[in-house]
Structure 1
C-alpha cells in the first residue's frame, strides 16, 4: 500500500501506460484522477478502479488549473503528478508542416509544462513528486520524427529544470524513457511496417523493430508502470532529476557493430 492516502493526477490516463499506472496506484491505496481529451477511454479505466475523470486537454492552462483546484478542494492535497500525455510528431523537417510541429509541441511538451505549473503549488505543500514520461526518442534520434524527437528531448530538459528548481522545496522530479511499448499508439505505428515489408501481423512488426534490442521484445505497459510507480513512491525518496531508461537494453547497442551479427 505504497500510495495509501496519496492523490495522483495522471495525464494521458485513458490508455496504455497512463491507464496501467492508474490501476497500480489505485491498487496500492491511492486516489487517482485521470485527464484525457476523450472521455470514453477515461470511463473505461474508471469502470475497473475508483477514479475521478476529467475530459480536458492537459495543455489548456484554464482547464488544468480547474482540475488541480477541484482535487485540492475534494481531497485537501495533491501528492503525485504523472505527466504522461503525449502524441506523434512524425515526418522529416524538410516537409513537416507548421501544424504538425505545433501539434507535437502541444502534445508532448506543453502538456507537461502547463500541468506541472498548475500542480506545483499543491505539490510543494504536500512535498510531492512528478514523474515525466518521455521516451528513448528523448535521448536518441529516430528517423523522420523531428517533432517527436525534439519535444521528448525538451521534456527531459523541463524535468531537469523542475528537479533543480523545486527539489529544495521538497518536490522530486524524475523522468522515465521507455523504448517500444505495446500500446494502441505503437500498434498504429506497426501498421506502417506491415505495409512496407509485407508482414502478416502486428506481432511480426514488433519482432522486426526489436530484433536488435538485447531483450528481443517490446515492453508491456505494466512493465513501464512498475518503474513509474517506484519513482512516484517513497521508495525513491532520494531520486531527483534521474532519467531512467526502460528499453530492454536498446540504448546500450553499439550501432556500428550491428553488421557483425547479421
Structure 2
C-alpha cells in the first residue's frame, strides 16, 4: 500500500489522531503537511523529524481552522494535495440551554466548516490529476448521540453528510471521500483526563478506564492513533478504490449496540 509520490495534508495534526495519521501516511511513503493554529519552533521541528524518520518531505503550515480563508490558504500554501485528511476538531460539553454561543460557533467552524473549505480548495487539483482521497475524521458521535454535546454531535453528523455529498460529486473521477468514526482513542488529551477521573470516582486506573471512560465501548479498550492512522492509509490506497461515501467505525463495537 505504498503512497510514494503522493502529498497528504492533515489538519489539526501536531498531536493526537492527526499526528498519528501523518506518521502512518509518511511510513507509507507519502509526503505530509501537518498543521495547527500555532507557529512554534517545535511545530516545525516535529515536521522535520517525521520527514527524517521516514524519508519523506514533511512540512508544517500554521492555519486557523476556524477561519475560511486560512482553511483554503492551507491547501494553496501546500501546493495542493492528493490526500486530504480533515481531522481538526474541538469539544465542549454543556446543556443546550446553557451552551455558549461562541462555543457553538467555534465547534461548527472548526469541526465542520473547515472540512468544507479545505475540500473545496483541494478538489480542483484532484480532478486535474484524476486521483484523490478525502478522509474525514468524524466520530461515533457522527452516527449516534450523547447528551450535553449538541455542537459536537451536530458537527460530526454534518461531516458524515458532507462525506456522502462529496463522494457523489466525485464518483467516477478517481476520487473517493470517506469518513472514519472513532470511538474513544487514547490521545494525550484523553490520557490527561484519567487521573482526574480516578480521583472523582475513587477507582484505580484500569477500573476507571473500563467502567467510566469506556462504558459505551463494548471492547473496553481504547483505539490507538496508530490504528486510526492505519485506516487512513487503507482508505488512501488502491485497495479502497471502490470505497466511497461511507463511514468506517473504529469504536470497539459502540455503534453496534
TM-score by length of 1: 0.87
Contact in 2 for aligned 1:199/1:205 (Cα 8 Å): yes
Distance 1:97 1:71 in 2: 34
Are 2:221 and 1:217 equivalent residues in the alignment?
Answer: yes
Are 2:241 and 1:237 equivalent residues in the alignment?
Answer: yes
Q: Aligned residue for 2:114? A: 111
Alignment CA distance shift 1:4-1:245 (3 Å): same
Distance 1:151 1:251 in 2: 18
Shift of 1:130: 0.1
Distance 2:163 2:107 in 1: 18
Shift of 1:236: 0.5
Alignment CA distance shift 1:205-1:237 (3 Å): same
How many residues are paired up? 248
SS in 1 for 2:50: coil
Choose which of 57, 61, 78 in structure 1 pairs with 2:64: 57
Which protein has greater RCO, CA pairs closer than 8 Å, 6+ apart? 2
Choose which of 84, 87, 91 in structure 2 pairs with 1:84: 87
Q: Aligned residue for 1:133? A: 137
Are 2:173 and 1:169 equivalent residues in the alignment?
Answer: yes
Q: Aligned residue for 2:103? A: 100
Distance 1:20 1:144 in 2: 28
Q: Aligned residue for 1:206? A: 209
* Runs (5+) with no aligned partner, structure 1: 254-262
Distance 2:178 2:185 in 1: 19
TM-superposition CA deviations, 1:19-71 (whole Å, max 9, x none): 11111111221110112112346335314212111111134332233332233
Q: Aligned residue for 1:257? A: none
Alignment CA distance shift 1:64-1:111 (3 Å): closer
Contact in 2 for aligned 1:4/1:30 (Cα 8 Å): yes
Distance 2:107 2:87 in 1: 14
Alignment CA distance shift 1:145-1:66 (3 Å): closer
Choose which of 120, 124, 127 in structure 2 pairs with 1:121: 124
TM-score by length of 2: 0.89
Contact in 1 for aligned 2:28/2:233 (Cα 8 Å): no
Are 2:18 and 1:14 equivalent residues in the alignment?
Answer: no
Shift of 1:249: 1.1
